[in-house]
Amino acid sequence: MTAPRIVIVEDADDIGHVGADLVADAIARSPAASITAATGESPMGLYSALAGRHRAGMFETNAVTVFQLDEYLGLTPGDRRSLLGWMRRSFLQPLGVSCDRVVPLPSDGDPREACAAFDRAVEARGSLDIAILGLGRNGHLGFNEPPSAAESPTRVVELSAVTLEDNARYWGSVADVPTRAVTMGMRHLLRARQVVLVVSGEVKRAIVHRALEGPVGPEVPASLLRTAEAEVTVIVDRAAWGEG
Ligand code: F6R
């Protein structure tokens, strides 16, 4: 267990470049890497910078496996607002990762058996190699809402009021956001070999300090990264970190 490395950069563009360098190196070293990658605003610059490095021939993606990080429940098939759809547009297609290299989470039906099968699929690989994560205003990682234990498996969760509010912009109103979701469990995130957490904007200032400097525990799931085996890098911009 080593303390997270905190890299403070000027702005969201720099987050993208610094993060893309780290991830490109990791994939170049392990072309058959198992990867999970968040949706949301924070990693979008990283994904486009990463796609640029891929086009420049810095690494190949034909042998990677991508495990979906989180998904809403109760969507109709093909809903553009599904997180898998977002992943396709922002990460998989720009990086040339084909659909058969993706292990999706369930988005309807009774997901319990599908969650257990997903956990078995991650465990069959030993652990994830790379987790690219964003930070919720309540300290969530993926949809591991507080409280989430370090050993929590992939499971169905109820989204918190803060998360519903933050996602309302994609759905029109808070009332339209699905209230249930599936998330990869904390246990896989904490066992990943390398975690890159990207944090951007003043709205994240309180929670990034709480996660990195406050008490460690399930009430702030991201604080558990301080107990992880992984090499954890937190890339945070000035707006999020403050002047201190
Ligand atoms: C979404 C996900 C979430 C987001 C987090 C931050 O797949 O994993 O944990 O990373 O809510 O979202 P943004 O980056 O939009 O502030």
Provide the pLDDT confidence category of residue 78 given band limits of 50, 70 and 90. confident
Q: Which two tokens stand for residue 83?
A: 């997180």
Atom of ligand 1 nearest to the CA of 140: 9
- pLDDT tens per residue across span 24-74: 999 999 999 999 999 999 999 999 999 999 999 999 999 999 999 999 998
Q: Is position 145 annotated as part of the catalytic site?
A: yes
User: What is the Cα–Cα distance from 179 to 143, expressed in whole angstroms?
Assistant: 11
The whole-chain average pLDDT of the chain stands at: 96
- pLDDT tens per residue across span 184-217: 999 999 999 999 999 999 999 999 999 999 999 9
Atom of ligand 1 nearest to the CA of 142: 8
* Mutational pocket test of ligand 1: of 128, 166, 236, the residue with most ligand atoms within 8 Å of the beta carbon: 166
The ligand 1 site (C-beta within 6 Å) comprises: 38-42, 69-70, 83, 134-136, 140-142
pLDDT at 230 over 90: no
Is pTM beyond 0.95? Reply is: yes
pLDDT at 88 over 70: yes
> Cα(198) to centroid of ligand 1, in Å?
9
> Cα(57) to centroid of ligand 1, in Å?
29
SS3 content of the chain, % helix, strand, coil (to 5): 40, 20, 40
pLDDT at 1: 72
Percent of the chain with pLDDT over 70: 100
Residue nearest to atom 10 of ligand 1 (CA): 134
- pLDDT tens per residue across span 126-170: 999 999 999 999 999 999 999 999 999 999 999 999 999 999 999
Our measurement of the distance from residue 187's CA atom to the centroid of its chain's CA atoms, rounded to an integer in Å, reads 13
pLDDT at 229: 85
Atom of ligand 1 nearest to the CA of 133: 10
Q: Averaged over 4-33, what is the pLDDT?
A: 98
User: What is the Cα–Cα distance from 160 to 29, expressed in whole angstroms?
Assistant: 38
**111 touches 72 (CB < 8 A):** no
Calculate the alpha carbon distances from 133 to 56, 141, 181, 210, 234 in Å: 24, 7, 17, 17, 9
Atom of ligand 1 nearest to the CA of 42: 14
pLDDT at 109 over 80: no
Q: Is position 140 annotated as part of the catalytic site?
A: yes
Q: Is position 138 annotated as part of the catalytic site?
A: yes
**210 touches 223 (CB < 8 A):** yes
Provide the pLDDT confidence category of residue 110 given band limits of 50, 70 and 90. confident
User: What is the Cα–Cα distance from 244 to 75, expressed in whole angstroms?
Assistant: 43
pLDDT at 244: 65
**23 touches 196 (CB < 8 A):** yes
**166 touches 205 (CB < 8 A):** no
Question: Hey, which residues does 141 pair with through a beta bridge?
Answer: 144
Provide the pLDDT confidence category of residue 77 given band limits of 50, 70 and 90. confident
> Cα(142) to centroid of ligand 1, in Å?
7
**126 touches 33 (CB < 8 A):** no
Calculate the alpha carbon distances from 106 to 7, 34, 87, 115, 154 in Å: 35, 19, 15, 7, 11
Q: 194-206 as b/e, with b when 16 or more CB fall inside 10 Å? A: bbbbbbbbeebee
pLDDT at 95: 98
Q: Alpha helices, DSSP H only, in the chain?
A: 12-29, 44-55, 83-87, 112-124, 161-171, 186-191, 205-213, 238-241
Q: Averaged over 4-10, what is the pLDDT?
A: 98
pLDDT at 185: 98
Mapping DSSP onto H, E and C, the string for 20-89 reads: HHHHHHHHHHCCCCEEEECCCCCCHHHHHHHHHHHHCCCCCCCCCEEECCEEECCCCCCCCCCHHHHHHH
pLDDT at 107 over 90: no
| Count of C-beta atoms within a 10 Å radius of residue 27 | 24
